[in-house]
Amino acid sequence: MIIAIDGPAASGKGTLARRLASHFGLRHLDTGLTYRAVAAALLANGLPLGDEAIAVDIAHRLDLGHMDRSVLSAHEIGEAASRMAVLPGLREELVRLQRAFAMVPPGAVLDGRDIGTVVCPDAEVKLYITAAPEARARRRTAEILSQGKEADFVSVLEDLKRRDERDQTRAVAPLKQAADAHLLDTTEMDIETAFRAAVDIVTANRAS
Ligand code: C5P
């Protein structure tokens, strides 16, 4: 079984994907980390983010089992990843890796921006997780503060909106809800409520 989860930054899709995978006994891949890992490698070596040939080469050698979330979650890496995600050759290479991951039994939960539309268009269940920008910025700000770092709500909000705009308007695989995806708006939900709602959607779909 493959569960495809898409949505904008800080919508809660990552937490939901992890919890759904553990609940249904599936493997989990946060595809955002694959874009982040390539961006981090270029940044670390002072290489230009627009160099597609180098990006493809790094992607080709990427080990999905060795992506360190705590390092890759840095804000500047996310920004660089989002700028590199417009490169069609890089996307092609990463999508190939992501599909190979999804195909291994017993299946997987993948979360990202183009899972239901491009990576796994035949997934059994597709969820599109969203929330109002202010709610997402509030959560993201609290998360950063809880790590003992500084965060300012207004600049986090501006940042999220800029990232949404870039992800939704790029020419290749833009962020959008697949026609057959279930919409889950978590603006008024805590994570537990959102998780129960997601489990109900997946269970109903499996039964049908
Ligand atoms: O989800 P996360 O913030 O880790 O993703 C970083 C960036 O990687 C996103 O802003 C987006 O541009 C890109 N991305 C993508 N397709 C995916 C996952 C992430 O384009 N499936």
> What pLDDT is recorded for position 75?
87
Nearest alpha carbon, ligand 1 atom 1: 32
pTM of the predicted structure, to 2 decimals:
0.95
DSSP class of residue 147? Answer: T
Among 13, 31, 115, 159, residue to substitute to test ligand 1 (most atoms within 8 Å of Cβ): 31
Query: Average pLDDT in the 106-133 region?
Result: 97
pLDDT tens for each residue of 23-53: 999 999 999 999 999 999 999 999 999 999 9
Domains along the chain with CATH numbers: 2-207 (3.40.50.300)
pLDDT for 50-87, tens place per residue?
A: 999 999 999 999 999 999 999 999 889 999 999 999 99
| Measured distance CA(29)–CA(85) in Å, rounded | 17
Six-digit token string for 120: 């796994």
Q: Find the angle CA(199)-CA(188)-CA(198) to the nearest 5 degrees.
A: 10
Q: Is residue 182 within 8 Å of 125, Cβ to Cβ?
A: yes
pLDDT at 166 over 80: yes
**Which residues lie closer than 8 Å to 151 by C-beta, 6 or more apart?**
140, 141, 144, 145
CB 84 within 8 A of CB 55: yes
pLDDT, position 146: 93
Q: Which atom of ligand 1 is nearest to the CA of 14?
A: 1
Tell me how far apart the terminal alpha carbons of the chain are, to the nearest angstrom.
Answer: 14
Q: What are phi and psi of 29, to 5 degrees?
A: -130, 120
pLDDT in tens, 3-18: 999 999 999 999 999 9
Kindly tell me if the per-residue pLDDT of 207 is higher than 80.
Answer: no
114 has pLDDT over 90: yes
Distance from residue 31's CA to the centre of ligand 1 (Å): 7
- The residue contributing the CA closest to ligand 1 atom 4 is 32
Q: What's the CA gap between 43 and 140, in Å, rounded?
A: 23
